[in-house]
Amino acid sequence: MSEFSCNYHLKTENIEDCINLIKRANVTGFVFPPRDGWTSFVVNEPDFIFSKKLIDANDGILIQLISVEDYGWSFEIYDKDIKLCMFACMYDTDEVFSHQKNVENWDGLFNQNQSDVLDKVFAMNKNTSPEDCIYATDFADGMGLYFYEWISYSYICEYSPISYREYNELELLRVSASD
């Protein structure tokens, strides 16, 4: 079975910021414990597109990361409701890389390591050699994201939140707008 992941990462160490985002967006989700400046979560919204509800409710830096192991990966980053950038790399098409960068530089938004990773991603094109490619795990690790592999709302619902204890963390926090 190939990995399919679709998850969000809010730039905050305060789990309440993420809980409040989910409630403002009027969606249901699961929130992971904060780690390395990010709080990761999944929501019951369609995969492969950034949730419009989350964009409209967002008041911080928010990343959506999608990884489909055999087919490619992508991410989008928003600052509030403004799209900073998007990137997609699909392995099974002639259009291997797709970029959109709406900022000149990453100053003030990300630390140096994160900025370097983003610069490497946006330097890739169809002529980039395989050894110079950035993959989903390289991007996530470089950004400091922790909860991203094999994580999507459907996986958590299918396998139960308890199975995600492999990360040696507390049980996931379930959040819904009606809580």
Query: pTM of the entire structure?
Result: 0.89
* Cα gap 75→113, rounded to integer Å: 17
Q: What's the pLDDT tens digit per position in 124-155?
A: 877 777 777 888 999 999 999 999 988 888 88
**What DSSP string runs through 23-51?**
HHTT--EEEPPPBTTBEEEEESS-TTS--
- Listed by start position, the domains of the chain span 4-175
| Three-state DSSP state, 78 | strand
Which alpha helices (H) appear in 70-167, and where do they start and end?
Answer: 112-123, 136-143, 153-159
Question: What is the share, in percent, of the chain residues with pLDDT greater than 70?
Answer: 84
**What DSSP string runs through 49-73?**
S--HHHHHH--SEEEEEEEETTTEE
> How long, in residues, is the chain?
179
The residue ranges of the chain whose pLDDT is under 70 are 1-2, 92-96, 160-179
Going by DSSP bridges, is the β-strand pair 173-175/29-31 parallel, antiparallel, or unpaired? antiparallel
